[in-house]
Amino acid sequence: MNILILASEAENGIIVPGDTNEVIWGSLSFLIVVGLLIWKGGPAIKGMWNGRIDRLRNELESAAGTRAAAEAELATVESNIANAGAERQRILTEAHETAASLKQQIITKAGSDAADLRTRGASDVEAAKSQATSDLQSEIGLLAVGAAEAVVANNLDAATQAELIETYITRVGAGS
């Protein structure tokens, strides 16, 4: 400060222009204002500064926690996607196996149904053949009775009658 005073007493007044008292009181006022700002405003500024740092720290921690949760969720989703592919493959494999099994069952059932139809058809043919034979025999019997009545009506002798009966029995036995 003494240097300023000495400089102000210089002849040209270039270093400190004007009155020396004004420089001293102005400097003293400036230092008082700066001191008051540091004393009263410093803690407030420091509190705001530290509050901002704390707020930023909390936001960073919150963001880190959110990021970790998002990464965990991403891992879960990726795992589910991988599991979905495996599940899809398992379902397709199971569907192919079921389809093959059903195909084999249908083929087996169709084969057994065809065999049943053949057996039923053969038994129906046998029954129809038996029925036709029975109907034929009863018709022949009726015709034989009619022929016998006609012969009896003509008074056949015993030898001719026995011969007719024998011939009829032989024919009926050969026809079966």
Q: Is the pLDDT of residue 35 over 80?
A: yes
Q: Is the pLDDT of residue 34 over 90?
A: yes
Instruction: Give me the residue spans of the domains in the chain.
Output: 2-175
Q: Is the pLDDT of residue 5 over 70?
A: no
pLDDT in tens, 80-122: 888 887 888 889 999 999 999 999 999 999 889 888 989 998 8
Q: Bigger pLDDT: 91 or 137?
A: 91
Across 134-173, b (16+ Cβ under 10 Å) vs e yields: eeeeeeeeeebeeeeeeeeeeeeeeeeeeebeeebeeeee
| Nearest residue to 164 via CA among 152, 153, 176 | 152
Confirm whether pTM is higher than 0.75: no
